[in-house]
């Protein structure tokens, strides 16, 4: 048995389970493990320091899997933006056929990817942005609810509303993101009108995820309340694992702090150290409310197979029995 959807058909994978881009986490070993498990993984382009390093990472992933995988290109407002066009060129020239874009104004990227035969899945957090991306010509939408790790946008609409609201309007295949971690979530997403799920936090907490064991154990220990929303006052909200630093940032924002006042606390390099040394209080790191549903550290193969097998059982068993 298998769960076949327009999304699995579009990207050519066995299971409707996706691992979205994750800064410092979305590296070859995780992405290949997801691909080998029959899902779709995305290498995170900007985790690589240069476009050439990204080329090398794509090659490394190819050595670990012969299944399809993609690359995430996150477009964030920055004072000194990374050389996006060069990263894009590296993706195209490496022969990658699936890209997850996220962030603002992806038109230039979408145009170039489409001109080069790349399938574009655009991740966004509102129906209006989904429709705008659809008009730009993307092939699929990943709709990210308020529960999600990372950037949930400023509308605060959780998946239970956002997914069906988007499904009512979006015509291209759509996957649901934010708060998914198990078979119940997959079945719910399908019921709400999506054709698959995208997970971040759940894949962070797998054997192949290239982060320190302590961070994985912290995710297992954390419950669904263990996140903070930082940068709310700057209209650039980010959902992160609650720790000493996130508490300080929220407190400083309450007392009127500007970005400059928290810049040192939130530095990406500090977050990276968390993953490397396993000190969960060293910096800011992303995690979603789905932490409350994560109780173990399986391999990606175990995780994907468990989600799909149990989803099939829920659809054919529990749900079917309600219909008399």
Least distance in angstroms from the C-beta of 21 to ligand FMN: 4
Structure tokens at 73: 């290109």
Q: Which residue is nearest to ligand FMN (CB)?
A: 200
Q: Is 40 in the site for ligand FMN (CB under 6 A)?
A: no
Taken in order 125, 128, 130, 132, the sign of the CA dihedral is negative
Distance (Å, whole) CA 198 – CA 200? 7
Q: Which residues are registered as beta bridge partners of 142?
A: 123, 175
118-157 footprint of ligand FMN as x/- string (CB under 6 A): -----x--------------------x--xxxx-------
Residues in the chain: 324
Which of 8, 48, 74, 125 contacts ligand FMN by CB under 6 A?
A: 74
Distance (Å, whole) CA 173 – CA 191? 14
Beta-carbon neighbour count of residue 299 at 10 Å?
Answer: 14
Which of 177, 206, 209, 238 contacts ligand FMN by CB under 6 A?
A: 177
Question: Which residues, 215 to 274, sit near ligand FMN by CB under 6 A?
Answer: none
Distance (Å, whole) CA 170 – CA 46? 28
Q: How many residues bind ligand FMN (CB under 6 A)?
A: 29
Give the residue with the Cβ less far from ligand FMN, 38 or 159.
Answer: 159
Q: For the chain, percent helix, then strand, then coil, each to nearest 5?
A: 45, 15, 40
Q: Which residues here bind ligand FMN, judged by CB under 6 A?
A: 20-23, 25, 44, 72, 74, 102, 123, 144, 147-150, 177-180, 198-202, 204, 286-288, 290
């Amino acid at each position: 048995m298998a769960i076949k959807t327009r999304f699995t058909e579009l990207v050519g994978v066995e299971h409707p389970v996706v691992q979205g881009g994750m800064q410092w986490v979305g590296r070859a070993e995780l992405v290949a493990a997801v691909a080998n498990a029959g899902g779709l993984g995305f290498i995170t382009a900007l985790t690589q320091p240069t476009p050439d390093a990204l080329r090398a990472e794509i090659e490394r992933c190819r050595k670990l899997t012969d299944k399809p995988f993609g690359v995430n290109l996150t477009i964030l407002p920055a004072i000194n933006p990374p050389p996006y066009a060069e990263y894009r060129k590296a993706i195209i020239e490496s022969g990658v056929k699936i890209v997850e874009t996220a962030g603002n104004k992806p038109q230039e990227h979408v145009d170039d990817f489409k001109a080069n035969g790349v399938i574009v899945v655009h991740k966004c957090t509102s129906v209006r942005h989904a429709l705008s991306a659809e008009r730009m010509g993307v092939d699929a939408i990943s709709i990210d609810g308020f529960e999600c790790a990372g950037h949930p946008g400023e509308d605060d609409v959780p998946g239970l509303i956002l997914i069906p609201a988007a499904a009512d309007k979006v015509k291209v295949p759509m996957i649901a993101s934010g708060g998914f971690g198990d078979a119940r979530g997959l079945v719910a997403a399908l019921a709400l009108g999506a054709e698959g799920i995208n997970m971040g936090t759940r894949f962070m907490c797998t054997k192949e995820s290239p982060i320190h064991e302590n961070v994985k154990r912290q995710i297992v220990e954390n419950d669904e309340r263990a996140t903070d929303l930082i940068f709310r006052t700057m209209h650039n909200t980010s959902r992160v694992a609650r720790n000493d630093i996130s508490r300080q940032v929220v407190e400083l924002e309450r007392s009127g702090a500007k970005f400059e006042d928290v810049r040192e606390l939130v530095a990406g390099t500090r977050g990276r150290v968390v993953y490397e040394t396993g000190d969960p209080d060293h910096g800011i790191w992303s995690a979603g409310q789905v932490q409350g549903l994560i109780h173990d550290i399986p391999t990606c193969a175990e995780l994907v197979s468990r989600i799909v097998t149990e989803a099939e059982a829920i659809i054919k068993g529990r749900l079917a029995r309600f219909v008399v």
